Structure 1
Amino acid sequence: MTGTQHGDDREDEALARAAVDALIGQLALAPKPGLPDPRDLTARATRRDHGALRWSARALLPGLTAMAATARRTGEPSARLRTDLGAIGRSTEHTVALAGGGHRGALWTLGLLVAAAALRPGATPATTTAVAKQLAAHPDRRAPRRPTRGSTMSARYGAAGARGEARAGFPHVRRALTALTGSRAQGAPEPQARLDALLTVMSTLQDTELLYTAGPVGLRRVQAGARGVLEAGGTATRPGTEALSALDTELTNRAWSPSGSAPLLAGALFLDALGGSGARGTARPAPTHPHPGISP
């Protein structure tokens, strides 16, 4: 193997590691209303054990590395590359299932973004999401033709769903990234900046999982609750923290999970880890105590 090949391999794995670190950083945040977080060490609140989710997140690394390598070799966001990414994704889903499961939405989001970053090294986040949009526009001709919860809810209510989000160039990933940098600029600590970014996504996303479990009325209620936290000043303020706690309690009691928002935050954290110029890097480390008063 040549030195160039060694360098390419390292770059592919670096992108994949940044994506996995971003996912683990998303998992580390708390309190996340209705979503798995470090309080769920025994699946108390969301029925998803947090330790198991962290473990299975690491099982994404080989697949994401393969996606980056395949994109780099292909060179363009072509239909052929889209088909290859789909095949790698289905294989990776199987591996993740053996490791404990979960993260299907994160694999979709991060897989496209990792491939786009490999296609355009050094690109800005806007360019990376635009390339991901080109990839998502191609159909995966080898994908199984069976309905999913997301596709069923998209058809019933006209929601964009995960595929629509990607085909639009991940607008909620970009919104989350803008909210993240804005909260930091206003002096919010990193955990609260990330929570504000998550709530920004929740406030407008037509989450198909919420549509399935809570219906349109429940979705609007969750969106309004997320907006209420932000309008109260965000999670770095006392009124915002109180509003967040109330939303968290309501979603936990109702067993409503805005699970479509979490992968999009992970996507934003991945782009953030690459830097504003798109330079390769590693994700910011997850804080030891993600939120005041909450320990992992």
Structure 2
Amino acid sequence: MIWKSAEQCGLCLGDLAVAALIDEVKLTPKPGLVDLQSPGSHTDMHAGLMIASADSLRSSFEAMGSTAYGREPNQELRETLACIGRTGEQSMLLTTGGINTHRGAIWALGLLIAGAAICGSGEAPEQIAEAAGTLARFPDRTAPISTSNGIMAMQKYGVKGARGEAMNGFPHVVQVGLPVLRDSRRSNMSENHARLQALLAIMANLDDTCIIHRGGMETLLVVQQGTQKVLELGGASSIAGWEALERLNKDLVLRHVSPGGSADLLAATLFLDRLSILS
């Protein structure tokens, strides 16, 4: 598909981003995360709320795509996109009654939408992610002082967090999530199992600040090792892997931790995958 205008680009990318978020929510079962069966480790979220939150971001995602269409990554564009992102965040909070459902996803998908609009249709995921990374490396001089959970985890434990992931060109998306998703499909896994496999691969490798904030580095290590065990047992498509996945989910719920950063990067993976199929 070739975008003939900024508006067409924005509409297309907005649709793909919202669809990716809804696909992530509907993926079931997910350890510690909201899905169609369970709220996971959350007491204030459910699948319907997450889907409504995703829909509330459509106009902001569209605006990001149309604004970045045909542009070069620069300071002005970075700050314009940040402003649109903060508007999207307010729409999300109004929809959810103040619950932070998708703040991290706004950051990741917003940058990747802009990267796709800059590169044009048909570009490879790696180039889109690199363009997004170039944008992320420009500072947002208009940003309010942040005290988010992710920022606090980054400062306390020295991990890179969502900002570092973006600035480095989303390595857990293009080097982990996408290859595992596509390899799993080629091995004849169902689409649901392939997506779960991609999520588990991201979880096993990512220093997820959502986990670190609630449980520290010790809990992160437990989650990563538990996830790696699921993969070693064959992942979601094997009986032993499925049983290990259920045990992992129970452990995360008991620990009150949720791999929200991994979920955001799975959504980013599904977005780039959908875009490459469309192109």
The one-letter code matched in structure 1 to 2:10 is D
The one-letter code matched in structure 2 to 1:90 is R
Distance in 1 of aligned mates of 2:52 and 2:242: 29
Distance in 1 of aligned mates of 2:4 and 2:182: 34
Pairwise CA distance, 1:46: 2.2
Q: Which residue of 1 aligns with 2:107?
A: 108
Aligned CA RMSD, in angstroms, stands at 1.6
What are the within-5 Å matches in structure 2 for residues 13-162 of structure 1?
13-40=11-38, 43=39, 46-47=42-43, 48-72=45-69, 75-100=71-96, 101=99, 102-121=101-120, 122-162=122-162
Distance in 2 of aligned mates of 1:51 and 1:112: 25
The alpha-carbon distance between structure 1 residues 177 and 221, as it changes in their structure 2 partners (threshold 3 A), is same
Q: Which residue of 2 aligns with 1:237?
A: 238
Q: Is the Cα contact below 8 Å between 2:6 and 2:65 reproduced in 1?
A: no
Distance in 2 of aligned mates of 1:126 and 1:30: 28
The one-letter code matched in structure 2 to 1:170 is F
SS in 1 for 2:69: helix
Pairwise CA distance, 1:187: 1.0
Task: Tell me the alpha carbon deviations over residues 230-270 of structure 1, each in whole angstroms, 9 at most, x when there is no partner.
Answer: 11111111111111011011111221111110010000000
Pairwise CA distance, 1:44: 7.1
Normalised to the residue count of structure 2, the TM-score between the two structures is 0.94
Distance in 2 of aligned mates of 1:203 and 1:80: 36
Q: Is the Cα contact below 8 Å between 2:78 and 2:135 reproduced in 1?
A: yes
The one-letter code matched in structure 1 to 2:27 is L
What are the within-5 Å matches in structure 2 for residues 205-284 of structure 1?
205-275=206-276, 279=279
Pairwise CA distance, 1:50: 1.3
How many matched pairs?
272
Q: Which has the higher helix share?
A: 2
Pairwise CA distance, 1:7: 4.2
Higher relative contact order (CA 8 A, sep 6+): 1
Normalised to the residue count of structure 1, the TM-score between the two structures is 0.88
Task: Tell me the alpha carbon deviations over residues 110-155 of structure 1, each in whole angstroms, 9 at most, x when there is no partner.
Answer: 0000010011112100100010110000000100023322112111
Gaps of 5+ in 1: 280-296
SS in 1 for 2:205: coil
Runs of 4 or more consecutive aligned structure 1 residues displaced over 2 Å after TM superposition: 4-8, 43-46
Gaps of 5+ in 2: none
Pairwise CA distance, 1:10: 2.2
Q: Is the Cα contact below 8 Å between 2:33 and 2:42 reproduced in 1?
A: yes
Task: Tell me the alpha carbon deviations over residues 11-40 of structure 1, each in whole angstroms, 9 at most, x when there is no partner.
Answer: 211111001101100000111100111113
Q: Is the Cα contact below 8 Å between 2:154 and 2:209 reproduced in 1?
A: yes
Pairwise CA distance, 1:51: 0.6
Q: Which residue of 2 aligns with 1:186?
A: 187
Distance in 2 of aligned mates of 1:44 and 1:198: 15
The one-letter code matched in structure 2 to 1:135 is L
Identity between Structure 1 and Structure 2 (%): 41
